[in-house]
């Protein structure tokens, strides 16, 4: 177990709705990265949050947004859901120590989102 927890584990939403996914980072970590994993594919980087600000973003539209809280936990919000948003959403936590030193990233179990 990595100590990274995600909620909920499964979720079914209707096209056009909005969804919020949550992630608690591992103790001692200050950075959360979010990924989308479609069935049979490798995870794709959505964005990363550090010090409550976005610290890098992948090729995802603005309807994918996030937050990081003072306790380093994070939320992923997706607006105007599309059928192609159906995927496993993963968060990974790590520690940025400064001066370019970063610890390895550890993943949570994921949230399985189904859009119908």
Partner 1 sequence: QQQVKQSPQSLIVQKGGISIINCAYENTAFDYFPWYQQFPGKGPALLIAIRPDVSEKKEGRFTISFNKSAKQFSLHIMDSQPGDSATYFCAASKSGSGNTGKLIFGQGTTLQVKP
Chain residues in the site for partner 1 (CB under 8 A)? 2, 4, 31-33, 35, 40-45, 48, 50, 55-56, 90, 92-94, 96, 100, 102-110
The β-bridge relationship of strands 44-50 and 31-37 is antiparallel
As measured in angstroms, the least distance from the Cβ of 23 to partner 1 is: 11
> Shortest gap between Cβ of 80 and partner 1 (angstroms)?
25
Return the number of the residue (17 or 42) whose C-beta is nearest partner 1: 42
Cβ contact 47:31 at 8 Å = no
Residue number with CB closer to partner 1 (32 or 79):
32
Residue 91: what are its φ and ψ, rounded to 5°? Answer: -120, 150
- Please state the closest distance from residue 63 (CB atom) to partner 1, in A: 21
What's the burial of 40, exposed, middle or buried (CB within 10 Å: 0-12/13-18/19+)? Answer: exposed
């Amino acid at each position: 177990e990595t100590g990274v927890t995600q909620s909920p584990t499964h979720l079914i939403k209707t096209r056009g709705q909005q969804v919020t996914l949550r992630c608690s980072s591992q103790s001692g970590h200050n950075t959360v990265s979010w990924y989308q994993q479609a069935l049979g594919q490798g995870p794709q980087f959505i964005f990363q949050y550090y010090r409550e600000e976005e610290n890098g973003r992948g090729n995802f539209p603005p309807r994918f947004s996030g937050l990081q809280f003072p306790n380093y936990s994070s939320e992923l919000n997706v607006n105007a859901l599309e059928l192609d948003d159906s995927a496993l959403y993963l968060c990974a936590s790590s520690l940025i120590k400064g001066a370019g030193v970063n610890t390895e990233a550890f993943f949570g179990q994921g949230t399985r989102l189904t859009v119908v």
